[in-house]
Amino acid sequence: MREALALAVLPDVKCSPNPRVGCVIVSTSGEIVGRGHHVAAGLPHAEVNAIAAAGELARGSTAVVTLEPCQHTGRTGPCTQALIEAGVSQVIYAQADPTDIAGGGAAELVHAGIAVIGGVLADEAEIINRAWTHVQVTGRPFVSIKTAMSLDGRVAGAGGGPTTITGAAARVWVGQFRSEVDAVLVGANTVSVDNPALTARDNSGALLPNQPLRVVVGGRRLSTDLKIFADVGVGPGIQIREHDPERILKLLLAQKVQQVLIEGGPTLIAAFVEAGLVDEILWFVAPQFLGAGPVAMAPLPRPRAVTVTAVEVIGSDVLIRGALSPAPSD
């Protein structure tokens, strides 16, 4: 199963809005005879690729897959039928499929006489597909908020213009994280003041293969010369003329966005926090005092507790990762 999990996160994978899935075929003698993973939406699923790699050795084998095999026909056929036709004798899967349209594959395999074991390393598989799973369960994209502030809580200097807060290592980390989400979101004021490109780049400044949809929200009329609207080989950014967080997420989901990274500014972040629509907090703290300037988040009408899940040192900066704690009942 760990081999299958590793296949699911290979660098060539960009299958959103589909889940990441890896599969290995294990022969009757205990050897891995086929490996496969889902590369992109519309292409064969992991089980089909692994079966093809195994060939005739798939007959009588055990298929180990990170997600319960699907039993529906979309742009590709049902994986349950592929496993049945290949003659596998056993299927072991990690995460159960939570969807109405594709779930239930395990029962179909059992009905066909195939032994099935589920739940093996399910927690690790769910982490790989946390955004996809979140969409299936909640009906909205997974939302991460990220900001970078000084020790005195500022996100810019006294003039309010572009200010370098974190060091190079943190900026590379953010570039990599952008490449792993479907969309990066900022407010109109941030775009007007900072003019960010919001692209995902490596430590040399080169564009990474996977680029997010770049989105600016708000009704302000913006210049088409801004960097976010430049087509840098990955398509221009878009503007959503909305302020309501729920409405913004519905519009993003309609564009097949399953995970969105909100990078500010302070008013936009506060709006999503107050709406209770934040699933992950990424808060960088840099070792400097700016002395004056805008603060990291606009005022909230009431306090909100945060559950810290990790604290990491990245270069000279500290990253606090967490999640909003449940809001106290009124």
Could you give the residue numbers annotated as active site? Answer: 47
Q: What is the 8-class DSSP label of residue 100?
A: T
Q: 82 with 50: CB under 8 angstroms?
A: no
Contacts of 256 (CB under 8 A, 6+ apart): 16, 17, 182
Cα 133–244–192 angle (5° rounding)?
105
Q: How far is the CA of 168 from the CAs of 108, 135, 200, in angstroms?
A: 51, 33, 14
Burial-class residue 223 by CB neighbours within 10 Å (0-12, 13-18, 19+). exposed
- Distance between CA 291 and CA 196 in Å, rounded? 24
Beta carbons of 8 and 66 less than 8 angstroms apart: yes
Q: DSSP label at 57?
A: G
Closest listed residue to residue 130, CA positions, set 149, 117, 144: 144
DSSP letter string, 114-160? -EEE--TTHHHHHHHTHHHHHHHHHSS-EEEEEEEEETTSBSS-TT-
Measure the CA–CA gap between 69 and 46, rounded to whole angstroms: 9
- Return d(Cα 279, Cα 27) in angstroms, integer: 41
Are 133 and 247 within 8 A, CB to CB?
no
CA-wise closest residue to 288 among 145, 146, 156: 156
Burial class (CB in 10 A: 0-12, 13-18, 19+), 15: buried
Cα–Cα dist 161/166, whole Å: 15
